[in-house]
Chains A and B, each alone.
Chain A
Amino acid sequence: MDVGEFLAVPANREAVRAVALKALTKLEPSGAEVALGYLEPLIDMAARGEVVTMDLWDEAGRFGTVDLLVPLVAPLVAQALARAGGGIASVTVEDVKRMVLRVRSPQGRRRLREIEGELNAAFVEHGNGEGPGEGLHAD
């Protein structure tokens, strides 16, 4: 299913939100609270097929290098759930790599396998109804 159509359903959005948060809590526990503020707009962007490209170059005068995984995880989860339709979603290392390349996430590049593992675990957990907002709704 197309990601835009998939995310047009509020319950699916909620599912993306729940799975992404679950994975992010495991992957970067300290950043989960900050990531929460970015999830909604990132899901909106995923619905339009857009991503945020990270720009972490250490340049004089910038804030510093906060390398969050949320711009990588949110569209990945949305894509995987949309692709799975009603079944249990999953991602491969290649999927993560493709998204890392789009988002240009340095942390993502270093933790390809870990991200793949945590996302798949979150999908399984979610599919088994172990998290909030479980179950997918395809119109």
Chain B
Amino acid sequence: MPTEERNALQLDPFAFPPETKGRFLMLMLAALAFGDSLGNILYFIVDGISSFREVEAASLELVRRWWRPDPLKISPAEMKAAAREIAYVLTEKFAPFVFRLLIIPGAVLLLFTCLAIFLYRHHNQRLKRRYASKPLTRAEAPKVVADLESCAASSGLPLPKLEYSSGLVQGHAFGYKGQEVLILAGTPEVLENAWEKSCRPVALHELAHVANGDARDRDKAKALWTVFVIFLLLGFIGLCGLRGFSWKAGGLTLKFAAMLLFVYVIWAGLIRIREYYADWRAASWGVGSQLQRLLSLSEGEVGLWERWNWWWRAWNRWGEKAWWRLGGDIGTWCRHKAKRLLRFHPSFSSRLSMLKNPRKLFQVSPDLSFLTGVLLTLVLGGALFFLVKLSMLVFLVLGLLDVALLDRLGNLPVGTPRNGLLAGLNISIELLLFLAFSSALMGVAYLASKTIGVQVQRRAVADLAGGVSRSWGYARLLGPAFLLAVGMEVGFLIAPFSLLAPGSPESWKALPIWLAGSTALMWLWLACAHGLSRMLLGSYVGAENPRLRRAVVSWASVGVLTVLFWPAAFARLTVRLAPMLKSRASLPLNLSPQKFFIYGFFMPTLVLLILAITVYILGVLFTLAALRIGPLHRRGRCPTCGEEVTYTLSLGRNCRSCGESLTPWIHAKNVQSGLEPES
């Protein structure tokens, strides 16, 4: 398809939900999951590790009784006895432990959440105090208030509470839903006087943050991680006070520090990306050229300490000294190095270029792939204990159900009906366990598809609009797939209490194979999301956003990733548990550790891998057939002139009859026309 047939209209970054929403959600979940993990530590301090070992033995006992080699041959009396034994282990040994494990960390998590909510609900007051802001009234600044009122009304937003503080060409929007505050820098007379040229674009940029919902996501994540740090410090001080400092605690502290550094980098990166979206939203409200002028100004260089009075007093006193200058030079050098990762705003030049061409917002950047991988496993690493506890609860409930049913089946004589019911019972319980396991994986798949999945959809659409060749579009997904796999591995390594981190020489040796396999599975997933987006969204013709088609792509992507996660999760457990099983003397079915490993982990992994690949291939074939019969076969009509479209994939093309775009939904309106051409 020749490129010249494509129209050159700019893509609209708001045609898709931003992937940053998904990453903010992951940040919040990771904080909650680690909050729960801190509760688990408290549990082990209170209850001791010995009770955990007892329960481990009880669990193995249960599994051994459950997996009888000859379940169909047992007599009714034996069945009743088995039900009683299982009931005893469940109620006497298992249930008290599970309830304690749920209650103590649950209470910590509740406290954690309450404190985070408190911080979140009070950050308005904190920020207002920090700025020493004053309410901006209509009497003081009539033009400003009236203009902002009309802007907010035309975009369907309630007007945030307006305040002003010291400074120039600056603004800050924050606050929770219904209580948003917009602080503008400058006195009312400064704001009135410089409104059109420089204050209005700043104010609309901030209002755009409110419209995009950034302030809420950002401050919720901040509140949760702040509470996590508070709990962590209190816990660390308490633990050192109780047991003294140990190198093990020191190592764990380093792990926490690495994790917090990663979280900070991810958080700062998300805030930087949100700035691009806010600039775009403000430009779509008609201040593109003013924003462009502001972003053409030289950017301020603010030192780390320049926020505080004492620093300025020190500068006044020693600013001319050679040692002060040398320290300043070193500080500036360090700041420049760290700035790329830690700053909250992209450089003005980068914002300016994104305002002129938002193509980067449609790409899958290396840092997005890598950091999404890290975040996914941080969430998984933190939530694993929580999932283990939930599994224990499910296990307990299913166990009690099994006891009740076994007791009833014990009244039936040996024969086909009883054996049929028994087999049905065992299969149902295993199916329920599998569904519980799959729903956890589905949760992780949902998070992945809300982030990198959305970005792949965006890129597929941008590729199609830009006329990028089909095969290159699939081939270059290998990079993000590899970085996603590497990021996940790094996440496993830095996540404290991670049960799935490589912990033995064997698991380290298996790492290259794991990475290769994981890259392949991720590529299959990304390729599926890319292909489906290309065909389903590319074939759409119209002005309205194809929400239903986007939802189909997203949920299909969640389903595919869940299926591909099955073998990956089992493979991970296999690698992790292999060395642990070697030391086990008593295993269910009286199997040797090697046999138990082969039948319990290796074979299921292999079976699940074959199953996943089969489901994937069948799914792709079925989808292709459905697309050929449905969306790819049906020809839409031009939204402007109503002429039937002759293209199979119409995205980014103009109508041959009227020359207007066939897919206005993907093109930005009112932005580029408002920007001044590049000099």
Contacts and interface: CB of A to CB of B under 8 A. Distances in A.
Interface stretch (B85-93, B188-196, B596-604): B188-196
Contacts of B315: 101, 109
Interface stretch (A10-18, A58-66, A116-124, A126-134): A58-66
Q: How large is the interface on B (under 10, 10 to 19, 20 to 34, 35 or more residues)?
A: 35 or more
A44 to B, nearest CB: 7
Given A34-B293, A34-B294, A56-B167, A61 B301 contact: no
A36 B172 CA distance: 23
Interface string A91-117: 000000100010010110110000000
Interface string A57-96: 1111111111110110000000000000000000000000
B302 A56 contact: yes
A109 to B, nearest CB: 7
Contact of A37 (B170, B172, B193, B205): B193
Contacts of A106: 300-303, 306
Interface stretch (B342-350, B424-432, B619-627): B342-350
Contacts of A61: 172-174, 206, 209, 214-215, 218, 271, 344
Given A55-B167, A57-B302, A31 B297 contact: yes
B218 A66 contact: no
B166 A38 contact: no
Nearest to B343: A58
A37 B218 contact: no
Given A61-B172, A62-B170, A63-B171, A110 B214 contact: no
Contact of B197 (A37, A52, A67): A37
Interface in B203-225: 205-206, 209, 214-215, 218, 222
A24 interface: no
B571 to A, nearest CB: 39
A28 interface: yes
Nearest to B167: A55
A41 B296 CA distance: 23
A107 B344 CA distance: 20
Given A37-B198, A41-B194, A52-B187, A67 B299 contact: yes
A101 B297 CA distance: 23
A38 B172 contact: no
A34 B197 contact: yes
A54 interface: yes
B199 to A, nearest CB: 8
A28 B345 CA distance: 22
A63 B202 contact: yes
Contacts of B294: 34, 66
B312 interface: yes
A110 B271 CA distance: 28
A3 interface: no
Contact of A56 (B172, B190, B300): B300
A65 B302 contact: yes
A125 interface: no
B351 interface: yes
B170 A52 contact: no
Q: How large is the interface on A (under 10, 10 to 19, 20 to 34, 35 or more residues)?
A: 35 or more
Contact of A42 (B190, B196, B198, B222): B190
A41 to B, nearest CB: 4
A34 B298 CA distance: 12
B215 A107 contact: no
Contacts of A30: 296-298
Contact of B167 (A45, A52, A101): A52
B167 A53 contact: yes
Nearest to A97: B316
Nearest to A66: B169
B37 interface: no
Nearest to A67: B300
A73 B212 CA distance: 37
A70 B193 CA distance: 14
Interface string B135-169: 00000000000000000000000000000011111
Nearest to B275: A64
Interface string B287-298: 000000111111
A33 interface: yes
A67 B302 contact: yes
Contact of B168 (A28, A38, A57): A38
Given A55-B185, A57-B307, A63 B297 contact: no
Nearest to A45: B187
Most chain A CB within a 10 A radius of its CB, from B171, B214, B345: B345
B168 to A, nearest CB: 6
B297 A68 contact: yes
A25 to B, nearest CB: 14
A99 to B, nearest CB: 12
B358 interface: no
Contacts of A28: 297-298
A126 B562 CA distance: 74
Interface string B563-596: 0000000000000000000000000000000000
Contacts of A70: 168
B186 interface: yes
A54 B168 contact: yes
19 contacts: A28-B297, A37-B198, A37-B199, A38-B198, A52-B187, A52-B190, A60-B344, A61-B174, A61-B214, A61-B344, A63-B170, A63-B205, A64-B348, A66-B294, A66-B299, A67-B299, A68-B297, A101-B315, A107-B301
List of 5 A-B pairs having minimum Cβ-Cβ separation, nearest first: A67-B300, A37-B194, A65-B300, A55-B167, A66-B169
Given A30-B297, A63-B169, 18 more contacts: A28-B298, A31-B297, A36-B197, A41-B186, A41-B193, A41-B194, A42-B190, A55-B131, A55-B170, A55-B185, A58-B344, A60-B222, A62-B172, A62-B345, A65-B300, A66-B300, A101-B312, A106-B303
Interface of A: 28, 30-31, 33-34, 36-38, 40-42, 44-45, 52-68, 70-71, 97, 101, 104, 106-107, 109-110
